[in-house]
Amino acid sequence: MLLLKILFRNAFRNRLRSALTILGVAVAILAFGLLRTVIDAWYSGVEAASASRLVTRNAISIIFPLPLAYSEKIRQIDGVKRVSHGNWFGGIYIDEKHFFANFCVEAKGYLEIYPEFVLAPAEKKAFLADRKGFIAGRKLAARYGWRIGDTVTLRGTIFPGNWDFVLRGTYRGRDETIDETQFLFHWAYLNETLKRTAPRRADQVGFYMIAVTRPEVAAEVALAVDKTFKNSLAETLTETEKAFNQGFIAMSGAIVTAIQMVSFVVIFIIMAVLANTMAMTTRERIGDYAIMKTLGFGSGGIATVIFGESLVISLTGCLAGMAATFPAAKGFSQGLATYFPIFLVSAETLWLDLLASLVIAVVAALIPTRQAIRIGIADGLRRIG
């Protein structure tokens, strides 16, 4: 306790300098934590993917469709538990600024394959019974003030025209890692309309979602599906849901790498700031360290004092930065909900904050400690006064 008291007193001997350094560390840790949270949000879809689900798309590109007839053939493959299909709709609500993911899906099978989308029984029944019905995540519904029974119109881009839908339910995620900003409606509604307006585009799907009996057979099922449609007019590429999501992340790999680099640059800069503070402090206390040596303190004792002061300043700033990360992340999540529906500060991010602060403290104290240990008693005492 006495040592801790001495460390705190020494660390705050020059209160203004220490306060500014702590503020700098806090801002750096806050920036580091937010940047790491952005990276986590980028990969949230990958982390939430199930090992028991596969996605089948056109082998050329996801923009090319697959025949609806593939559904029954996939269902007959050993290891397949359930099959559903869907399309990315790409509709616009109000204008392009109000973006959110909207899909048309084979609703009954989709909800069975994705049990993490929790829907009230009455709302589920109403949704399945209404071809023009849709369900929305509760965050999306709250954003626009939608209520059950409201009519919502999307302007089609891939499928031109104005499309009217009726809200029949709002789903919630099974846990906080589930996206609650999606808009889901019936594929059958789209298909029936296309049969009248664009017959050539009817009876085609963008992708198939496949639930397998157990994760161990996922690779075998994927190979079997692709083998079934090999040399057909629309060959398939089947992969795990995680691999499918990673394919989209890979398109923005350069952005993620840049964010990671910036997060470490921030830590490096504040490391230099704290090192400068510790160097100034050490120069001011050379006489103190000389007196400690005359009293019998060795190199270890002096190093303990300097490293301890550095840790006090760094950890104080770290704790302040970590505390500020949560309200900052909440504010960011509201502003970036369109792009990052899952924006949560993870335990891993907090541990990285602590690790970063420890690295900052240790590295910043290395050179000042070396200088204090190497100075002779006589040289140190000459500097007193």
Domain boundary at 234, 269, 285, which?
234
Q: Is residue 55 part of a domain?
A: no
pLDDT in tens, 254-274: 677 787 788 888 888 888 888
Predicted pLDDT at 383: 60
Number of domains in the chain: 2
Q: Is residue 65 part of a domain?
A: yes
Predicted pLDDT at 370: 81
Question: Does the pLDDT of residue 48 top 70, yes or no?
Answer: no
Domain boundary at 234, 264, 280, which?
234
Q: Is residue 286 part of a domain?
A: yes
Question: Does the pLDDT of residue 384 top 60, yes or no?
Answer: no
Give the separation between CA 29 and CA 267, rounded to whole angstroms.
8
β-bridge partners, 55: 209, 239
Predicted pLDDT at 39: 79
Is residue 285 domain-shared with residue 336, that is, in the same domain? yes
* Residue 368 vs residue 165, higher pLDDT: 165
pLDDT in tens, 61-114: 888 999 999 999 999 999 999 999 999 998 999 888 888 889 999 999 999 999
Q: Is residue 203 part of a domain?
A: yes
Question: Does the pLDDT of residue 289 top 90, yes or no?
Answer: no
Domain enclosing residue 346, as ranges:
2-44+253-382
pLDDT in tens, 206-250: 999 999 998 899 999 999 999 999 988 899 999 988 888 777 666
Predicted pLDDT at 171: 94
Residue carrying the six token digits 């005359």 = 294
Is residue 21 domain-shared with residue 125, that is, in the same domain? no
Read off the pLDDT band of 283 (50, 70, 90). Answer: confident
Is residue 376 domain-shared with residue 227, that is, in the same domain? no
Predicted pLDDT at 65: 93
pLDDT in tens, 300-315: 777 778 888 888 888 8
Is residue 165 domain-shared with residue 36, that is, in the same domain? no
3-state secondary structure of 138: helix
Question: Does the pLDDT of residue 385 top 60, yes or no?
Answer: no
- Report in angstroms the alpha-carbon separations of 346 from 35, 38, 44, 269, 355: 12, 11, 11, 24, 14
Q: Once rounded to an integer, what is the mean pLDDT over residues 193-217?
A: 92
Is residue 78 domain-shared with residue 12, that is, in the same domain? no
pLDDT in tens, 130-147: 999 999 999 999 999 999
Note the Cα 17 to chain centre separation in Å: 36
Give the separation between CA 230 and CA 69, rounded to whole angstroms.
15
Predicted pLDDT at 248: 63
Closest CA to 59 of 246, 240, 245, 234: 234
Q: Is residue 248 part of a domain?
A: no
Is residue 218 domain-shared with residue 282, that is, in the same domain? no
- Mean pLDDT (the chain, rounded): 84
- Report in angstroms the alpha-carbon separations of 9 from 13, 200, 297, 352: 6, 79, 19, 28
β-bridge partners, 53: 211
Read off the pLDDT band of 46 (50, 70, 90). Answer: low
Q: Once rounded to an integer, what is the mean pLDDT over residues 45-50?
A: 64
Tokens representing 253 are 């790999």
Is residue 227 domain-shared with residue 88, that is, in the same domain? yes
Note the Cα 312 to chain centre separation in Å: 31
Give the separation between CA 324 and CA 353, rounded to whole angstroms.
12
Residue carrying the six token digits 């082998």 = 59
Is residue 70 domain-shared with residue 200, that is, in the same domain? yes
Predicted pLDDT at 107: 93
Tokens representing 5 are 């008291």
Give the separation between CA 281 and CA 313, rounded to whole angstroms.
12
Is residue 86 domain-shared with residue 157, that is, in the same domain? yes
Is residue 67 domain-shared with residue 16, that is, in the same domain? no
Predicted pLDDT at 41: 73
Alpha helices in the chain (DSSP H): 2-11, 15-42, 44-47, 70-75, 107-113, 121-129, 138-144, 187-197, 218-228, 241-251, 253-284, 286-294, 299-335, 347-374, 377-382
Q: What is the DSSP string of 51-107?
A: TTEEEEEESS-TTS-EETTHHHHHHTSTTEEEEEEEEE---BSSSTTS---EEEE-H
Q: Is residue 247 part of a domain?
A: no
At residue 157, φ and ψ (nearest 5 deg) are -110, -55
Predicted pLDDT at 44: 64
Q: Is residue 54 part of a domain?
A: no
β-bridge partners, 282: none
Q: Is residue 134 part of a domain?
A: yes
pTM above the 0.75 mark?
no
β-bridge partners, 58: 236
pLDDT in tens, 327-355: 888 777 666 655 666 777 888 888 988 88
